[in-house]
Each structure stands twice: as C-alpha cells, then as structure tokens.
Amino acid sequence: MPARRSPAPTPKKKSPARAPAAAGGGALDIPPMTAQVRTLDNGLEVIVREDHEHPLVSVQIWVKAGSLHEEQWTGAGLAHCVEHMLFKGTLRRTAADISQGIQALGGYVNAYTTFNRTVYWIDGLAEHTEGYLDILADMVRHSKIDAAELEKEQDVIRREMAMDNDDAGSVVQHLVQSTAFRKHPLKHPIIGHRPVFDQLTQADVAGFVKRHYVPNNCFVVIAGAVKTEEAFALAERLLGEWQRSPYEPVFQPQEPVQRGPREGRKNFPSELTRVAQGWQIPGEGHPDKPALDVLAFLLGAGRSSRLYQEVREKRNLAHWVWAGAWGAQECGIFNVEAECDPKDATACRESMLAVVETMKAKGPTAAELAKAVRATVAGQVRALASTKGQAAALASSWLAVGSLDYGRHYLAAIKALTPTMIRDAARRYLIPATSSLAIVGPDVETSTTSDVGSTAKQVLQRFVLPNGLTLLIGENPRLPLVAIRASFLAGVPAETAANGGATQVSAALLLKGTKKRSALEIASELENLGGSLQCTSDAHRYLLGADVMRGDEALGLDLIADLIQNATLPAAQLKEVQKRQVASIQEEKEDPLTVALRHARREIFAGGPFARTALGTEESVKALKVDTCRAMLERSLTGANGVICIHGDVKAATVRMQVEKALGKLKKGSRHYHADDVAQAPNQGKPARHDLHMDKEQAIIVIGFRTVGLHHADSQALSLIDEACSDMGSRLFNRIREELGLAYYVGAQHFSALGAGAFYFYVGTSPEKADLARQEMMTQIADLVKNGLTDDEITRAKTTWKSGWLRAQQGNASLADAYAWNELNGHGYEHFRRLPEAVDALTSQDLRRVAQTYFGADQAHVVTVMPEAKVEG
C-alpha cells in the first residue's frame, strides 16, 4: 500500500484523439446521494448508503490523520508507515490471516495515505459486509505493531523511497512543495524524508496509532446492497465498544504570506528537464477553490488546453504539459508543469507564463468554460457508478465540511462560474510575489540550460552462455535498483489457428505454482521486499521480469528461473485462466473500433499468422489443453530462443555468475522462427470493402494497408507518418474533426511485426456522416500520397517521436526491455541507440515515397462498422 501523492501525471503513450462532447449536449446533474449518518456513543461516525443496483458493497474506515498530523515527527512519513503496519497482523490475526480472510470472502483490500487522512477499504460481495468490517475493525483497533515486522516493513518503505526518488515527476512535485512552503507541513512529502524516517522506533509508530486511531477521530462508510438499519447495527456491534479517548486536534502552523518569488533546482540524471511553476493558493474549503480547479483544467487538462496548444503544439517547446490545484484544508498550491529538452527549459517556462498572463488578461471563452464545467460534472457522475466511488464521494464530503451533500454544492459552484470569475481568480492568485519555480533535470543546479541532444551511449556487455542463452548486462550504479527482463520468441507466429492464444494462456499458468513455490509464494516473494514480478506475453514473445533493489537480483533470477524450468501448470487452474482470456476477447468484440481494426487485420494478413491476434479466438482458447500449453513452453523457453537483459546497480562479472547458476541448465533448443519465415507466409488478402453491423450507435471506418515488417528500411518512415497523423494537431484531426465536423475522433496506427506490417487510418463518426467521413479520409490519404508531409508536420512528428524514445530510457526496466527485444528480434541491442539517427535522416522525399509505395487507393482494405438496421414495428 504505497503512499498516494497529489496529482502529478506521467506522460502516456498516445491513444485515439477523442474530443470531449459539446457542452450543449444536455444538462448533467449529480443525483442526490441518499445516505444516513449516525454517531455512536464513543464518537465514531457511521455513514450508510443503501444501493441495491448490484450485490456489492464498499466498506471503508477513514482515519482523520495523514502526513500533516505527525507533529514532532513531521516529515518522517509516520502516517504512511502506520498504513503499512496495519496489514502486518493484529492480536487476533496474522498478516496471512488478514489477506487470505479477505480473499476467502471475495473481497479486494487496499489503503492509501494522503495529507489529511488514511483510508482502509474493502470492496466485495454485500453478503460479506460483516466479515469485511470485522477485519477492518480488527486492523484499526488491535494492530500489533510488532518490532520485528516494523523493521522488515521499514526496509520495504525505504525501497519505495528509492523508487520515488527515481521518478522525475515525484522529484519535481516534492521540490515545488518544499519551495512554496516554509512552515506548513505541506512542504514535506507524504512518504517522508529518509533520514527522519530512519529514526522511527516501534514506540513512535505505536504512539501515533494510540494518539490518532481513536473512534472520535475516525468514521466508517458502508455503501452498497445493504439494509441501512442492519448496517448501523453491525457497526455498533463491531465498533461500539471501541473506547473513546481524549483527543486534541493537531493545529497546523499558519504559512507566512509569500512576499517574493522563490526558486528551487535539483540535479536529476535524465535526458529531459521538468519545469514547474507554482503559486500559493487557499485550501480545499475556500470559496475560490472551484474557480481555481476549473482554471487548472482550462490551462492544462488534455490536448485542447491552453498550455498544450501553445507550448507543445505551436511553439514545440514541451513534450508534455499539465496544470493542477491541490493541497490541504488550510492552504494549497496551483501548479503548471512541463517536460522539455534541457536546452528549451527557459523558453518553455517563459511560454507557460505567457499563457498564464493571457488567461489573466482575457479569461476563457464561454465555449472553453462550458467544456470544462461539463467535463468536471461528467467525471463526478462517472465516479458514482461504483460502490467504492459512492463511498469515497460521501466520505470526502464528510471529511471536508461535515456534510454528505457537499459534492453537489461544489458542483453547483462549478456550474455557476463565469469567464469573468475565472479571469479574476487567475489575477488574484497567479502573481509573481506568490510564485515558486522548481526545475529538475541534468545540471540545473549550476546552469539554467543544458544542450544535451541525445543520451550518452551506455556500454552493455554481451555474453552467450553454452546453452545458447544471450545475456546482456548494463551497469548503472546511479540508484540501488536492478531490472531483469527475459524474453523468449513465441506468440502469434509460433501458434496455429487451432492453438491460438496458447502463449498468453500458458504465461498466466506459469504463475499458478512451481515445484518449489506455491502461487501465493510466487506472488508475494518479491513484493515483500519492495520488488515486483512480471510474467506475461505479447504477439511475439514470453516476457518474464523482476524489478528489485540491489542485493535482491539473485533472488529475482532464482524466481524467474523457477518459473521457466519448474512450473507445474496445474490443470485445475486452466479453466480460470481460459475464462479470463475469453472475457478479454469478448470485451474486444464490444468496441466498434477494435472490431473494425481486427477485421482489417484479418483481411490484410489473410493466410498468414498475423491474421490472428495474441488473444486467439474464443474457440481456440476454450479448446486448449494443459499438454498444449506445456508443449508451447517447452519449445519456447530454451537458451537459443531467448535473451535476458539485466540493467542496474550490478557488477557484470557477479551477475553473469548468478545467471549461469540460475539458468545454466536450461536446455539449448533452437530459435522458434525468423522474420523471413513470417514474410514468406502466403498473402491471400485482397483489397476490398467490408461492411459490418453492430448493435451500437456510432459508425467506424478503418482504412488499412499492408506494409512491411520491422526489419525493413521503410518501417521507421511509417512510424513517423503515424506520429504525424495521430495527434490532435494532425491534418486528419484538423480537417475531418475540426473543419468539417465529420468525426468524434480520427487518427492512424502503425503495426510493425517480425516479417509483417500494416498501417491503419481510422475515424469514428455518426452513421449519417459515415460516407462523407470515408470520402474525406480517402481524400486526405490521396493528398499524403501525392504531396507527402509538410516540413512543419515532419518537424513536429520527429519531436514527438524523440520524446517517446527518450521517455523509454527513464528507468532500468524500460532499457532492459528495449535492449532484450532488439536483441531477440535480430536487430541487435545497439539498434535502439541508432534509431534517432535514422529518424533524423528521413526527408520529405523519403516519406512521400513510402506513402506512394503503400497507400495507393487500389491497395486499401476499407472496413465500415454501422449500427444494426432498425426494424420498424
């Protein structure tokens, strides 16, 4: 249960550019949250919401103590440490009893710590409400806080701290906090500072529990298919005897008024720089908070926001931008943030400030505000779809102002906002005297800019073991972290129509037990040390990995080797795995865009392996036997068919011996297949038009073309065309969505595999506009074939591509996976480092030639998905 931090989004891989619905599409209102609250004699408040829509329940205990309430231990992360310890056993239950007891009742448990609260919750079946509340009550009332368990858990938290310090987003957030605040404990990270945390004792942790975990400082929320009076009676029975204790609220020091701008800089080993500009603002309960929340949305939420359009799209100064308003009840911070190249840091900051000044001068347009208001209300409505969301909404309102209906009042304030009110809030708070600049990146403590254009070449050592297993080792002592990634060729080219999906099913079965370990031991062994295990597959391979702290790499290797060599593949678990995979296949069939893309893929690759997907079909998955899965694993998990990459704080000589010990006895085998094998598969797909129908309201058009595999020289040019056609700044979006109003979303997708490739253009529209949208998409493709991309489009596409390439290097895990995959697919691990040079060398003539080669109108596979025809009664 890691510490939860204030919002600091991480850049994500692009998805279809879907525009929000127009604000005028009908009023949205939050329905009344019918609930009751009662206070027990011991001061414990109990909130119950009865909702019989589903036979589910969410049971939550909120403790009104977080990182702001640590008093003499402020900055130690004491509240977060307590959260961890409450799962380590009580006077009645061991840690295993807690987790297994909840699992036996069909529940899912978790917890989080923030500035002003710690929340423990279980979601599950309503029929087990009593069992869930009994376990949570036992945890908060009777936790043992065992000294030996505390010592082990502190080590786990230290590993979390190391991971936190390895994340540029967390580092810049903490720097903004410490720069903006001088006295208020909001200046400290929730997880704490390592030197202070290291001084905590069992008595300190137990003392925090005794002080804050009392009924008159907590409340219970039960939401779901329960009967109100029975729920209150249950709370009384399980928690009524919890003894009230004297409790003096923790009063926060008042933050002095900031009289001038502040600045904080922190060096961080990265190829990118994070720039954040923060301003002190009032806290969560202030009347201006709704206006500040909407101001943040307008500046930095999504691709149509002011910062995104100006700083990223028009000026090409940032790879990612964001804005948010957050904090404590007493005070908070308004933050605008960007990720950019080091050389652009100053210009990026100036551009962000210019956007803020424009908002202060003119405010938003009425259309912008209407979109922001509707998006905010819609987000609140969506959260109420689950019992957990309902419970959280009620609890947040109760914690903030002691009213169960505060959420509706907050949204009423949002809906009452005017452009002038937004402008005035920006003028009132976003002023130089209350601003704090935070910069995190390479050499920022000694210089304001850094002209680092590409990553320094890291030297990897490559070995081939006697059994044919290729070993790559990268020594990176920057942080005490190690990533292990083992890849073995398998997937779609290794399967047939009869056993499609076998790779994914068998990968899931690996986790169900080995000759040495049970499924529970496999799941918990690394997690107990603050690490993680990965065991999955994709269209080409099995992928097994471990992320551990330095010193635990031998254990990670032993666990991976155990899965590879000793998996038992219990037949009793096969049905469960098959059921989940079939559900994934069925879920894909519910999405019209996925249906259209899959159909185009089948037509493009007809007769070849990539006509199938990694999931397989319902029929092939249901027909799988354990023997089939075992045969796939035995053929695939061999030395000559695999690559293992270990990257992090290791010594090559030592880790090589560890790998030889763990995997030296793996049988040699042979390579599963080569790219040429796939490329030579018969191509029976003939360009044509295909019309499908679904019981949906939207229409989807996909225009697909067969291209080339990832080894072909044209593959990188196709990826760049994908970048140019997939953004909200692309010609497709601007013409089809914005100018003509023919689409909800529009974009492109490049599929590049071993020996095979495809390129898809897609558009989502309304049925009555489908013909026009298809014609316009064909017109745009024809223009791309005739004229290619403009110089401006190429520049933007190269910048976006480079941003993704750089982000892929932030962390040992990403590098280990990239190196292993490139080595496995035959490129060689060094290919990853040569990619920027290849992309930079692409010219407009290259891109036009590639478009002309593959995107001819007579080569198009056109798939249209339309609603089912209505039958008149």
Q: Encoding tokens for residue 232?
A: 């209150």
Provide the CATH topology of domain 40-239: Cytochrome Bc1 Complex; Chain A, domain 1 (3.30.830)
Which CATH superfamily hosts domain 685-867? Metalloenzyme, LuxS/M16 peptidase-like (3.30.830.10)
pLDDT for residue 636: 96
What residue ranges of the chain have pLDDT lower than 70?
1-31, 382, 446-458, 678-682, 728, 807-808, 810, 870-873
Indicate the angle between helix axes 406-415 and 387-401, nearest 10 degrees: 90
Q: What is the pLDDT of residues 773-812, one digit of tens each?
A: 999 999 999 999 999 999 988 988 888 788 778 766 768 8
pLDDT for residue 512: 92
Q: Encoding tokens for residue 222?
A: 């039960």
How far apart CA 340 and CA 352 sit, in angstroms, is: 12
Q: In whole angstroms, how far apart are CA 661 and each of 143, 146, 488, 554?
A: 41, 37, 19, 9
How far apart CA 399 and CA 218 sit, in angstroms, is: 10
Angle at 820 between CA 816 and CA 822, to 5 degrees: 120
For β-strands 756-765 and 699-706, DSSP reports them as: antiparallel
Q: In whole angstroms, how far apart are CA 392 and each of 185, 304, 404, 411?
A: 25, 29, 11, 16
Q: Based on C-alpha coordinates, what's the Rg of the chain?
A: 28
How far apart CA 39 and CA 215 sit, in angstroms, is: 10
Q: In whole angstroms, how far apart are CA 142 and each of 30, 88, 131, 239, 278?
A: 39, 11, 16, 12, 42
CB burial of 697-724 (b: ≥16 within 10 Å; e: otherwise) equals ebbbbbbbbbbbbbbbebbbbbbbbbbb
Q: Encoding tokens for residue 714?
A: 């044209």
First to last CA, the chain: 56
User: Is the overall model pTM greater than 0.85, yes or no?
Assistant: no
pLDDT for residue 22: 34
How far apart CA 535 and CA 561 sit, in angstroms, is: 12
pLDDT for residue 401: 86
CATH code for the part of the protein at 460-678:
3.30.830.10
Pick one of 3.40.50.2020, 3.30.420.10, 3.30.1330.20, 3.30.830.10 as the CATH number of 262-441: 3.30.830.10
Task: Determine contact, residues 633/567, Cβ cutoff 8 Å.
Answer: yes
Q: What is the pLDDT of residues 588-597, one digit of tens each?
A: 888 889 999 9
Domains 262-441 and 685-867 agree in fold: yes
Task: Determine contact, residues 342/442, Cβ cutoff 8 Å.
Answer: yes
DSSP state of 344: G
How far apart CA 825 and CA 541 sit, in angstroms, is: 10
Domain boundary assignment for the chain: 40-239, 262-441, 460-678, 685-867
Q: Encoding tokens for residue 392?
A: 């959280």
Q: Encoding tokens for residue 693?
A: 């129908």
Among 113, 136, 137, which residue's Cα sits nearest to residue 65?
113
pLDDT for residue 6: 34
